Structure 1
Amino acid sequence: MNPTGPRRPATRAGFEIAVICALPIEADAVDALFDHHWDDDGPPYDKAAGDPNAYSAGAVGRHNVVLAHMPGMGKASAAAVAAHCRASFLNIKLALIVGVCGVVPFRPGSSGASETVLGDVIVSDSVVQYDLGRRLPKQFEPKDTLLDALGRPNTEIRALLAKLKGLRGRKMLQGKMADYMDVLQDEPELAAMYPGATQDRLFEATYRHIADGMSCEECGCDGKLVPRTRLEQGDGQPAVHFGLIASGDTVMKSGEDRDNIARQAGVIGFEMEGAGVWDVFPCVVIKGACDYADSHKNKAWQRYAAATAAACMKAFLGYCVPSVPGSLPLPEQPTGPWFLVPYTENMTFIGRESILNQLQQQLLGPAPKIALFGLGGVGKTQIALAYIYWLRRTRPEVSVFWVHASNAERFRQAYASIAQECQVPGYDDPKADVLLLVKAWLERNDCGQWLMVIDNADDMQLFFGQHMGPVNASSSSHKEGLGRYLPECRHGTILVTTRNKQAGSRLTKGKRPIEVEKMDEGETDRLLRAHLNGISVDFSESSAFSVRLEHLPLALVQAAAFIQENTIDVGQYLELLENSDQDLVDLLSEEFEIDGRDSETPRAVAETWILSFEQIQRQNAFTGELLSLMSPFDRQAIPLEFLSRYSEQRGQEQTGGIQLTKALGVLKAFSFVVEEKDHGLDMHRLVQLVTRKWLVKNGRMRHFSGQALLVVSHCYPFGRYENWAKCSAYLAHAYALLGGEGTGSRDEKAGRATLLHSIAGFFMSRGQWKDAERFQAEAVELREEVLGADHPGTLISIGNLALIYQNQGRWEEAEKLEVQVMETFKTKLGANHPDTLASMGNLASTYRNQGRWKEAEKLEVQVMETHKTKFGPDHPDTLISIGNLALTYKDQGQWGEAEKLEVQGRWKEAEKLEVQVMETRKTKLGPDHPDTLISIGNLAFTYKNHGRWEEAEKLEVQVMETRKTKFGPDHPHTLASISHLASTYRNQGRWEEAEKLEVQGRWEEAEKLEVQVIETFKTKLGANHPHTLTSMGNLASTYRNQGRWKEAEKLEVQVIETFKTKLGPDHPNTLITIGNLALTYKDQGQWEEAEKLEVQVMETRKTKLGPDHPDTLITMGNLAWTYKSQGRWEEAVKLEVQVMETFKTKLGANHPCTLTSMGNLASTYRKQGRWEEAEKLEVQVIETFKTKLGANHPHALTSMGNLASTYRNQGRWNEAEKLEVQVMETRKTKLGPDHPDTLISIGNLALTYKSQGRWEEAEKLEVQVMETRKTKFGPIIPTR
């Protein structure tokens, strides 16, 4: 050992010189010049908690020196090594960065005496960061104040450098350096011999190396060499040069760039570590020249250059004076205050003023404990760092101790470091409990005031010795936990950082932790700019950037590092973020260097959270399962029902939900989920993506996707009205799971089919037939695969698909499926099973829609009789089947049979039953339920048949408004209710109200509404759907009423042809449209075309429906009207007599249809002048209507008006006038003075006055009618 050398330090506090080397060959040369290696003599010095560096400790001359071995080259790595070194070795006053570099061969404007050759050593009097500046398009603009970029060394170092720059000093330094080179060259393994002048080749700056990866000899570089005076003189001794050294993140390999920067800044060499260390320690860079910073790199000089630098380092230290002479003993026990913090101050810390203010206020009191909690990466540790450096400036007398608490070993290591650095009495006793020693020492009054930071205290089990879930016998948990080693005294304070709110609360004795939330927009903008080092970014890009990364500080810093490392701009990074969720997760998984973050804590955001996931998983598997289960859902509004269901499947319900509550408490404590009132759980978006990555990495993603699908398939209700709210709320989660991939097991496929079936039911009830078809078709396919074609579940899905086809007007496809379902149910369940009967009813409905009434009737009779036998005559299913059969009877004109089942004509009985049904449904289902609305609509229809328009209107308005609110304005049921209400308004002559709903009178508005209805049906149901075609027919009627015959004709021809194609030429809908076209022809006076169509319709109906069917008889009546219009009275009478007699036979003499046909025949008699026959019929009609419907019913009033016309034609003016006045006054009262029917009756009375020569009275009435019609209809009234 050197007798003049220093003694072995007792602690790390005895080291004042640090040497930092980037390459092993550099460290080898330095290590070889140690006079003594302290690592070989005495206990190890260890290092501070969280310090990842590797050190060699020894003596060089009069100095105790610690050699730090860098894990890699570069500024960032050097900065990290220096920062950790500072935390472990608190008294370092000088750092030497020793190694190899590239040099500038000539200083600009210098003579040959200032030339630098390979093997020379350059020593920094300052360092410039030459790649600091702004990246502009196609160029780099360095910082203006280049020379002052990193400041100057301190006064002591500058004075020493000034001494060594002198002639004598330089000569002495180079002499000692030569002596130490001899020592190094005596070590063969160092290979430190001089390579020779022939190996020192300097090409002109513009000549570039031919091929990367090959030496100049290998690739044949033959450019012109620059002559070297020193080499020509044979001077092989390395010289020392002092000057400005350029430091950057990249290797300089360009002679032209080298010379440009040398001219601008006056630098003498280029290296990569100095800028990283400069702000941490006072430092000097000592580097040996191994190349000329051009493209012609030559590794032959590296070991020699490393040796010359190490020799210069030792010679340089010979002129440095130690603070504590080696002959004086070091103090046995240092006195405080202590600042044992492994991180340097974060100079780019941004914002968080509110939290810092809370800490500054709350930690001033006696013995406070405060916890910061929040999501990993939200900045808790950085806030703690900002606070303690503020505390160091404002309260330097307060000691600060930093304790890593991510696991027990690191906690113990931190306490051991405190014990050693503070030389706590008894710390060197191997039998002592260091944890208790430190706790007791900190609680002593003579220790002074202190603050302890407990960082990353996430593990409750670690501190309190208990699992979050059940503990089995083999658990290795701490019996009591580390919490008992936290000191309690009035002169000490504790600041906890944790991701676990529960842990924070317990560590601070129940005090409410401070939540660290994501940054606001202003803070994230400032943070981003601070870390982009001059890269330009506008606020909109910064805002989009922050939003995409959820305003999370660690994610933003990580992204900024990626941008700089890969030389891209913010816009390009945003494009990467938008590519896919997988790209986003990959970016969040990129490791990067950051100041003030523990080396053993993952730096990447994704890895930070995965660490928490795994901790939760280890401590409570059920909590981890819940987090995994939630990741495939949509991240917002995850229902608690889903988690409860999974808990039941796992058997956790035996604890009454306690385990579920606890598990959710942990997830909320870690800020992975947030519970919203009446809303369910929201999962942080980035947490969800990283959770998925974690599951994929562990091969568990498919499993939990499958489990989540099973949960939702169980919880998702079928789409009945009462389930709509839940169906809507769960739909986003269903979509998310249906778009994912599970394990493909049979159970999963069955669950998927159930979910598809339920969603389809929701869309069916909403009238969204295309969506319903898509989901139901897939459900059928899956159920056929998993359950089999004959399984009841499969058949139910097939039946629903058939119903969807029905509602789309696809009768043949519906029929095919319904026959299949019915026959299978008969075979599997029997003919009388409810499912079989339901399928028979569905098939009958399809037959009815196709006009196949006999087939429908046969099925419906069977269904009705079976229901009566099995359930009784009053059962709801029995009543429905009776109603369906009644509809079929009516369609066939079998009014007698229909009447026996409760149908048209018996309005009072119908009304009584309908009120009963409506009230029952209101009570049982609620006033807004679809079934209740149907009952209200049925009652309104009964009121209309009574002529009770106001009561009908009130109910129809209620139905329409409720359907608009519940179903939306475009739903088929809403459109139907609008049409019904419009009909009621028209019947009351309330044109203004009807006009808004689609009416006649103001034809332009009606046309506009009808076009809207057509387009809605086309969008919702398709262009060829029966509802669409019917609405086109309505528009054609509007055109006809406007006298726009050709447009009406064009539409009606189109509708006819489509109906013929879709339904066939004989379908009832086709025949109705042909009849409408005949009306259009008649309005144009095209009698022959009209007659031809009406004869066609009549004959077809006779064949298809029979000669006695009501529809056949109505067609005969229309044809009779055509004959009358042509003056073909006898042919008209013949048809009308036949119609009347048939109605009498089929329906009875008092049926409304019979009475209407009698009125039509009377009209023909009147036109023929057969007054007595006309009068006889009209009197009979009036009296019957009065008896059946009442004297004020519209039908009774119309027939009274007809009788008045007959009286007028016979010259019986007084009788005519009496009837007409009665009709007019009644209509004024019932319908209003402006109703069309009222105006007709006024006009008829005016005719009677004129017939009597009462001109003034007649004129007064006619003027009234004219003015009213002008006001109501406009000046031009369509006429036929």
Structure 2
Amino acid sequence: MAPFLHTDYSVAWICALPLEMAAGNAMLDKTHDRLSQPSTDPNAYILGELHGHYIVIACLPAGVYGTISAANLVSHLVSTFPRIQLALMVGIGGGVPGTPHDIRLGDVVVSRPVGKYSGVIQYDYGKALQDGHFEPTGILNKPPQTLLTHMARLEASQLAQGENSILKIISDVLNRNLDLKRRFSRPNGPDNLFCASYPHVGNESNCLKCDKTQLLDRSPRDTATPSVHYGLIASGDRVMKDSTARDLLAQQLGVICFEMEAAGLMDELPTLVIRGICDYCDTHKQKDWQQYAALTASAFAKLLLSVVPVSRTEDPGLLNQKVRHWIVPFAKNPKFVGRQHEVAELEKLIAAQDGPARTAITGLGGVGKTQVALQVAHRIRDRDNECSIFWIPCTSHAMVEQIFLNIVQTLGIPNANPAEAKEQAKTYFSSERAGRWLLIFDNADDAEMWSTLEQFLPQSEQGRILFTSRHLELAVDLTFSNIIAIPDMDRDTARQILEKSLIQRDLLNNHTKMITLLEQLAYLPLAIVQASAYINKKRIDLSTYSALLKETEKEAVKLLSEDFRDPGRYSDIQNPVMTTWLISFNQIQQQNRMAANYLSFMACIDPRKIPRSLLLSQVAKKETIDALGLLSAYSFISTDGTDISIHSLVHIASRNWLRENSLLNYWVERVADQLDEAFPDDHYTNRALWREYLPHALALMRGKEFQELLTDRTNLTDKIARCLAIDGRFNEAEVLYHQLIQIEQAKNGAEHPNTLISMANLASIYQSQGRLNKAEQLKLQVVEIRKTVLGTEHPDTLTSMANLALTFWSQGRWNKAEQLGLQVVEIRKTLLGTEHPDTLTSMANLASTYHDQGRLVESEQLQIQVMKTRKSVLGVEHPATMTSVHNLAYTWNSMGKHNKALQLMTECTRLRAKHLGPSHPNTLSSSDALAQWQETESHGSSKSIKRLKRTV
């Protein structure tokens, strides 16, 4: 007889435990030799015959149970054995005792549709309702119709004849195999069922210490003869050991058995579930019954297959027929949420007869491109039973070569070898005999790899190619701009991912904490799944994880570098966000050095609204466009007009990458050089520019790396402090001036001009904060030192005296303010002249003192003199001139010259609004005064007053 082929096998027999596989193997009429299988398929198989059916028995990996593990097993199985038509999940489960099903240990439960449910319910996936009820979400596939039909026929036959064929099958198997008989025979121990409210006593596996008065008294039954029960089976990722929860779910949903794998199979491969009952889903687990229960389930499976007709054709032309192939390494993700628009658009493009031959999904690493592609693959597989789907991970050259070899082997192409596999695959897929197909190239990020790989892409009207790529520019080249971008900030999707990923659902009750954490994780799907894995393992709440992220940048990096298991990602690649982006960092470095430099530069400043003018200068325009374009292509940055923003988590990852490569200090110094050159002085005309630069300068200064350079960066620090002071950010400015004073004193001494300038500036900050006594003390100190070192007539000494006079004025000490102000005015007139700005400032301050002393005429005369001189020397629109106009208007109003005051204040308001802006504090001060005077004196209509107030 010719050797068997993968296409000969039509029945899958799936087990969760080795003992279940052993029981299944014992049922076979004949076993077959093993066949070769793709290296991407990790499953272990037993092949054989049963009642003419060619059977594939597969078992989950040891110790790895649950719905996801089962789904992965089936995904590989159907790829290796493409003609599987029927599937049985055969093994042990926990029974639900009570009416109408009198379930006993050793009985068999078989899944069968009931009402709106298909036979299997995923009981840990759905909605917890307010009244304590649970509502499963979604309906799983039904078992194959042919199995349901012949199962009904078998049930009818059993009822009519009253015989128990299962017992006969078990007896025959055990008599043929004495070793199996010793281990799989029915236990001699009792079939005990305790009250639901009574828990197991002690740590032993038996119930010797349990109170026998808590046993339920059940009606007699021939328990040596297994009964078969048909109904709903509950499946989930947790072992059911709570009899109270068991009874509640059984009452709500009508289930009669609990197990852990079936829900992962039903949407991958419609399956009939057969469970031998080994316990009652309570704390009184009966492990002694497991082998026998596995045997009774296997016996029923054998009995069922004996009445199912064999569906196999011996036509020698069979192998030339088109076979749908499925080589996808991941099962369908039951926790997939959101992205419905992108999934629907991709399906539409791939299915369209005149659709593009190539399409790409692009987006930031970790945004969920692979999951979207996987969802599309499974949806096309469910919808189109003739389309073959092949998944090629592009994580390395070696991986691509291996997958292509697996593909040509699966296709049965003769003389398959690694050197020619890609060309052989191209030839096959370009031919009509390939039928409809979809190739998915996942992680197509490496431009160098694709410079050689693109020539092997097939072309066919029946075929489509889908890429997932972080590299937008490469995706454009590969697909001729047929791109679907995955947005990296989808709040609703992010919330759903967190809800699906957390075990402790009560953590989601605090909406504020949930939103805070999602914002910290930038709504990035991979970061959310990673955070959930950590929270689940450590049993912490959302606030604790959020606090760890906030603690320090180093702690945030540690959290985002924590590896975790994810069945939807490649097992040979680390999953953390930080590790994921390292690949992109390295690719950017290789492709464009300037792009890497810009990324390093932006890592040292605030990640939001970075002006292009702040970036490294002396770079050609095209070079800048290419570099920023590459960063944008990887979704690391986004642009808005002339501003650039870097993704917040990419910002942290970039800093960590620089730190790990001992480059952070170097780049902090380069950025400091650039800021020192670009940051403007505190002239009022530079206000808009310094406000753009301030967030980035402050972000740079906050880092400990900059603090180590602070001694050599006093000029930049002083410019930043001055601008902060002008903007009214006095507390921030105070901190910087304290630092400057310490540096200057240590470097130059307490009497150095730079030290005294910083002290004077700090004193001004104190005065602006209303801390007048501290301002006076510090200003007196500066005045005395400058008199001693520089002399009374030195400009710096006079400035200090004028500032001290201003403090006296603020304290209401008019005589001292006048005395010192007059002294400064006379000296400045002599040394600088009456038209010098400093002289005029001193005269204006003296005029204010006269005003507050009630000496209005003297104040008016002096203010008129100052205003006229400033108009002549500085111009009408200069801020100092407008200040003189404002002050003179106040004096005229105080003198009762209301019309003149209103005219002057109106002009002042107009000029300030034009040159400083309507929201500037000086403009608002003039507008407020004008509105108040108009209302008080009833000048102008009330309508114009209200309009003016609205403008203010």
Structure possessing the higher radius of gyration over alpha carbons: 1
For the residue of structure 2 that corresponds to 1:96, the secondary structure is strand
- Decide whether the 8 Å contact of 1:799 with 1:818 is kept in 2: no
Task: Tell me, yes or no, if the aligned pair for 2:393 and 2:441 is still in contact at 8 Å.
Answer: yes
Q: Counterparts of 2:195 and 2:8 in 1: how far apart (Å)?
A: 50
Aligned to 1:671: 635
After superposition, the Cα gap between the structure-2 partners of 1:374 and 1:837, relative to the gap in structure 1 and judged at 3 Å, is farther
The aligned counterpart of 1:161 is: 151
Letter in structure 2 aligned against 1:484: Q
Quick one: structure 1 residues 685 and 441, their matched pair in 2 at CA, closer, same or farther if it must change by over 3 Å?
same
2:822 aligned partner? 891
Which residue does the alignment assign to 1:813?
778
Asked whether the equivalents of residues 491 and 523 of structure 2 are also in contact (C-alpha less than 8 Å), the reply is no
Aligned to 1:635, which of 607, 610, 631?
607
Contact 1:122 1:289 in 2 (8 A): yes
Q: Is residue 2:814 matched to residue 1:842?
A: no
Shift of 1:197: 1.4
Bigger fraction of residues in helix: 1
Which residue of structure 1 aligns with residue 275 of structure 2?
287
Instruction: Tell me the SS of whatever aligns to 2:705.
Output: coil
Report the equivalent of 2:478: 507
Q: 1:10 is matched with which residue? A: 5
Correspondence 1:756-771 to 2 at 5 A = 756-765=717-726, 770-771=731-732
Q: Which moved more, 1:77-86 or 1:340-349?
A: 340-349
CA distance in 1, matches of 2:749, 2:318: 88
Tell me how far 1:503 sits from its aligned partner. 0.9
1:849-998 → structure 2 map (5 Å cutoff): 891=822, 952=868, 955=871, 963=879, 978-983=886-891, 990-994=897-901
Taking a change above 3 Å as real, the CA distance of residues 688 and 87 of structure 1, as seen in their structure-2 partners, is farther
Structure 2 counterpart of 1:498: 469
8 Å CA contact 1:101, 1:287 repeated in 2: yes
Asked if structure 2 preserves the Cα contact closer than 8 Å seen for 1:96 and 1:286, the reply is yes
Provide closer, same or farther for how the CA distance between residues 741 and 891 of structure 1 changes in structure 2, counting only shifts above 3 A: closer
Deviations 1:913-957 (A, max 9, x none): 899x99xxxxxxxxxxx99x99xx9xxx99986998998499499
Change (3 A) 1:352 1:96: closer
Deviation at 1:777, TM superposition (A): 0.4
Equivalent runs, 1:1107-1146 vs 2, <5 Å: none
| Inter-CA distance 364–712: structure 2 relative to 1 (3 Å threshold) | farther
Indicate the residue corresponding to 1:207 in structure 2: 198
Contact 1:174–1:312, Cα closer than 8 Å, also in 2: no
Match of 1:685 among 639, 648, 661: 648
> CA contact under 8 A between 1:719 and 1:764: conserved in structure 2?
no
Q: Distance in 2 between matches of 1:840 and 1:893?
A: 11
Q: Which residue identity does 1:638 align to in structure 2?
A: I
2:822 maps to amino acid: D
**Secondary structure of the residue that 2:133 maps to in structure 1?**
strand
User: Partners of 2:344 and 2:256 in 1: how far apart?
Assistant: 45
Alpha-carbon distance in 1 for matches of 2:646, 2:742: 34
Other-structure match for 2:440: 453
CA deviations 1:1087-1109 (Å, max 9, x no partner) are xxxxxxxxxxxxxxxxxxxxxxx
2:458 is matched by which residue type in structure 1? Answer: P
Q: Distance in 2 between matches of 1:447 and 1:170?
A: 51
Q: Is the 8 A contact 1:581 1:689 kept in 2?
A: no
Deviation at 1:437, TM superposition (A): 0.9
> Are 1:225 and 2:133 an aligned pair?
no
Q: Displacement, 1:129? A: 3.5
Larger RCO (alpha carbons 8 Å, 6+ apart): 2
Task: Check if 1:411 corresponds to 2:411.
Answer: no
Please say if residues 712 and 755 of structure 1, whose CA atoms lie closer than 8 Å, have aligned partners that are also in contact. yes
Contact 1:164 1:170 in 2 (8 A): no
Q: Give the conservation status (yes or no) of the 8 Å contact 2:690–2:723.
A: yes
Is the Cα contact below 8 Å between 1:531 and 1:560 reproduced in 2? Answer: no
Q: How does 1:794-813 map to 2 (within 5 A)?
A: 797=758, 800-801=761-762, 810-813=775-778
Tell me the equivalent position of 2:322: 335
Matched to 2:427, the amino acid is A
Q: Matched residues in 2 for 1:577 and 1:250: separation?
A: 28
| Residues 435, 573 of structure 1: alpha-carbon distance in 2 compared, 3 angstrom cutoff | same
Spell out, residue by residue over 1:504-547, the C-alpha distance to the aligned partner (whole angstroms, 9 max, x if none).
Answer: 12213x536443335777888899999999x9999998996898
Would the aligned equivalents of 2:184 and 2:295 in 1 still touch at CA under 8 Å?
A: yes
Taking the aligned partners of 1:19 and 1:250, their CA distance within structure 2 comes to 23
Question: Structure 2 vs 1, CA of residues 512 and 238 (structure 1 numbering), >3 Å: closer, same or farther?
Answer: closer
What corresponds to 1:554 in structure 2?
A: 525
- Asked if the contact 1:243–1:268 (Cα under 8 Å) also holds between the matched residues in 2, the reply is yes
Out of 167, 187, 197, the residue aligned to residue 174 of structure 1 is 167
1:742 maps to what in 2?
A: 705
The residue type paired with residue 269 of structure 1 is C
CA contact (8 A) 2:612 2:642 kept: no
**Structure 1 match to 2:121:** 128
Q: 1:627 to 1:201 in 2, by over 3 A?
A: farther
Whether 1:251 and 2:262 are equivalent positions in the alignment is no
Tell me the equivalent position of 1:1097: none
The SS at the match of 1:282 is coil
1:981: how far off? 3.6
Q: Do 2:232 and 2:255's aligned partners in 1 also have CA atoms closer than 8 Å? A: yes
CA RMSD of aligned residues (A): 5.8
Query: Unpaired runs of 5+ in structure 1?
Result: 465-480, 646-652, 827-835, 853-886, 905-909, 919-929, 964-971, 1000-1015, 1021-1037, 1043-1233, 1235-1280
C-alpha deviation, 1:140, in angstroms: 3.0
Report the AA paired with residue 439 of structure 1: K
Distance 1:952 1:816, change over 3 A: closer
Give distance in 2, aligned partners of 1:714 and 1:143: 64
Aligned equivalents of 1:787, 1:304: Cα separation in 2: 91
Kindly indicate whether the alpha-carbon contact (under 8 Å) linking 1:252 and 1:294 is maintained by their aligned counterparts in 2.
yes
Q: Contact between 1:805 and 1:813, CA under 8 Å: does it hold in 2?
A: no
CA distance in 1, matches of 2:889, 2:109: 98
Alpha-carbon distance in 1 for matches of 2:747, 2:873: 48
CA contact (8 A) 2:120 2:262 kept: yes
Residue 273 in structure 1 maps to residue 265 in structure 2: no
Check 1:32–1:452 CA distance in 2 against 1; reply closer, same or farther (3 A cut). Answer: same
Secondary structure of 2:699's counterpart equals: helix
Normalised to the residue count of structure 2, the TM-score between the two structures is 0.73
Q: Does 1:772 align with 2:733?
A: yes
Which AA in structure 1 matches 2:899? E
SS of residue matched to 2:132: strand
Which consecutive unaligned segments of at least 5 residues does structure 2 have? 113-118, 807-817, 849-856, 907-920, 926-932, 938-952
Change in Cα spacing, 1:566 to 1:957, as seen in structure 2 (3 Å) is farther
Change (3 A) 1:58 1:682: same
| 8 Å Cα contact 1:754/1:779 also seen in 2 | no
Contact 1:194–1:304 under 8 Å retained in 2: yes
Work out which of the residue numbers 616, 619, 625 in structure 2 matches 1:644. Answer: 616
- Once the two structures are TM-superposed, the CA of residue 209 in structure 1 deviates from its matched residue by 2.0
Report SS of the residue matched to 1:186.
helix
Q: Partner of 1:1067 in structure 2?
A: none
Percent identity for Structure 1 against Structure 2: 27
Q: Residues 342 and 484 of structure 2 are in contact (CA less than 8 Å); yes or no, is this contact kept in structure 1?
A: no
Question: Aligned pairs, how many?
Answer: 868
Cα distance in 1 for residues equivalent to 2:801 and 2:531: 69
Name the SS for the 2:84 alignment partner.
coil
Instruction: Confirm whether residue 443 of structure 1 aligns to residue 430 of structure 2.
Output: yes
| Conserved? CA contact 1:23–1:72, under 8 Å | no
Distance 1:762 1:891 in 2: 30
Matches within 5 A, 1:1241-1260: none
Structure 2 CA distance for partners of 1:334 and 1:202, relative to 1, 3 Å: same
Which residue does the alignment assign to 1:517?
A: 487
Change in CA separation of 1:334 and 1:899 when aligned onto 2, cut-off 3 Å: closer
Any idea what the Cα deviations from partners look like across 1:798-849, whole Å, max 9, x if unmatched? 56546656887634423435666898xx8xxxxxxxxx79995423443566
